[in-house]
Amino acid sequence: MTAVTDRRVTVWQKKINPNIKVAGSGSPVVFLHGAGGLVWDEFLDRLAERHRVYAPEHPGTTEGDPEAISHIDNLWDLVLYYYEVFDALGLKSVPIVGHSFGAMVAAELAASNPERVSKLVLIAPIGLWREDTPIVNWMIITPGSDLPKYLLRDPDGPIAKQMFGTPDPEGMIRMIWSMGCTGKFVWPIPDKGLKKRIHRIQAPTLLLWGKQDRLVPAVYAQEFASRIPGSRVELIEESGHLPTVEHPAKVAASVEEFFAGQH
């Protein structure tokens, strides 16, 4: 188990002090979490075995400062905000691993200023839209009963029980508020123009997707791949929308292999 520390930085005209979970040593990697909030898990532990991992909490999701989200009006603000967070961490050009909503943000960061993102791992990103495969609105799915069906390959398995088995009001508050904050940038349809900007991505890109993802079906992998020059797709067997939770070792190994590879 890696020692994880909390680090606060001050950005955005000193209005926001996000918490960043930091662990490990080695070359830096940024991890951007999905809509449900940051949870430090086995996948991040594994990533921290060879890297210094910085996992910022999206604006508004840091405990004690829910109103931080009111200072970031739109996606453009959010992109610039993250460059400031990188500045505060001394990261000029850094590999980013993003999951779902966090992967969309990572793609926007890489497209807006390619110099800031050296490598890109997009795990089941949102951000594109197909009329024939609309993405279910995760913000209006019942957390206790229906959410596991969309998030996990096995909605009745041990992971589902661990995540959703016991009622936890404080956990629910964190998750719902995190969805509200991240939802600010994607409601009601997670297509906010990435398709017009995505061609600007220059970072070598790995797309990881759970084969049985029912929230953002794997058909979207090709949508991203066809738009990002030189990107590669890897489908994860027996996995839904949370491959880092369902197969942490496998996903961490794929990411390491990609980081180590010559591109």
Instruction: Check the CA dihedral 17-201-151-22 and report its sign.
Output: negative
Q: Which is nearer to other proteins, 173 or 249 (CB)?
A: 173
Q: Restricting to residues 118-147, name those near other proteins by CB under 8 A.
A: 139-143
Q: Which is nearer to other proteins, 190 or 243 (CB)?
A: 190
CA distances from 142 to 115, 165, 201, 220 (A): 40, 13, 35, 24
- CA nearest neighbour of 125 among 201, 33, 58: 33
Q: How far is the CB of 172 from other proteins (least distance, A)?
A: 5
Give the interface size with other proteins as a residue count (CB under 8 A).
24
Backbone conformation region of residue 245, classed left if phi is above 0, alpha if psi is from -120 to 50, else beta: alpha
Within 13 Å of residue 234, how many CA atoms lie on the same side as its CB? 16
Q: State the DSSP code for 130.
A: B
C-beta of residue 38 within 8 angstroms of C-beta of residue 21: yes
User: Using the rule CB under 8 A, which residue among 4, 88, 136, 176 binds other proteins?
Assistant: 176
Binding letters toward other proteins, positions 151-170, x by CB under 8 A: ------------------xx
**Residue 173 vs 219, nearer CB to other proteins:** 173
Does 114 contact other proteins by CB under 8 A?
Answer: no
Complex with other proteins: residue 114 or 171, whichever CB lies closer: 171
State yes or no: residue 63 binds other proteins (CB under 8 A). no
Residue 73 binds to other proteins (criterion: CB under 8 A): yes
Please give the structure tokens belonging to residue 25. Answer: 């040593």
Residue 189 or 249: which CB sits closer to other proteins? 189
Told to check if 184 binds other proteins by CB under 8 A, we report yes
Q: How far apart are CA 31 and CA 10, in angstroms?
A: 19
Catalog residues that contact other proteins under the rule CB under 8 A.
Answer: 66-67, 69-70, 73, 139-143, 169-170, 172-173, 176-181, 183-184, 187-188
